[in-house]
Amino acid sequence: MIAILKKELWSYFGNWSAWVIIAAFSLITTLFLFFFENDSNIFDIGLASLQSYFVLVPWLLMFIIPALSMKTFAEEQQTGTLNWLFSQPMKVSDLVFGKFFSVWIVGILCLIPSLIYFYTVFVLGIPEGNIDMGMTFGSYFGLIMLIAAFAGVGILASSLSQNQIMAYLLGVFMCFIMYFGIEQLASYKLLGGADFILQNLGFYQHFLGFTRGLIDFRDVAYFIFVIGLSLALSNHFITKKK
């Protein structure tokens, strides 16, 4: 697994793709938070809070994480190297976990530049340091879990697809449904009491708890379950291609 992880990280950083993604991600968030006139602009809101950042980022990750994960297995199938990997002395689970952790790590690195936003808001607050630390760090923890969930779903989409374009489109669609689609469907209140159950099947409600500064074991367990299920299904579909 460690060998696969190193190989994948080198493929991301060795050809500048990870650097470009991190830079683009940081540029977009900077423009929305400090320059563009919109509901996320920190100066327009006038509050010493990164809440708008934590609302914006999941929507960007919904497109970025599938872009990172689309090549994990779909590219291997396109180039024919998947069969070569099968011939190596490793388990399929090592292959799946190695690729998952590489996508997760790159996703987390996208968040590192936002520490500049945190410092900026911390200094500009009146009085200085007037920022809710519990909410901020809880939200960062929630984003890390959300990135892992998106990465798991993206890996699953790649294992189901024969080419990278289909893997990307399927990954974006699945992430969108899990984060926003289920939440919106439950909001129509068509299922009566079952709407609450449906609502809790999606990512949004569980991520929302973290943005309030609450790290609930049930929310953590939910994301761990989703990640585990996604990787188990990926392992199953890849094993069938042996």
Per-residue pLDDT of the chain (242 residues; tens, 9 = 90+): 888 899 899 988 988 889 999 999 999 999 998 888 888 888 888 777 888 899 999 999 999 999 999 988 988 888 878 888 888 888 899 999 999 999 999 999 999 999 999 998 888 887 877 888 889 999 999 999 999 999 999 999 999 988 899 999 999 999 999 999 888 888 777 666 677 778 888 899 999 999 988 888 999 999 999 999 999 999 999 998 87
Query: DSSP character for 214?
Result: -
Tokens of 64: 């970025």
Nearest one of 140, 137, 138 to 111, comparing CA atoms: 140
Q: According to the model, what pLDDT value does residue 168 have?
A: 95
CA 27/CA 50 separation, integer angstroms: 16
**Sign of the alpha-carbon dihedral angle for 227, 110, 115, 44:** negative
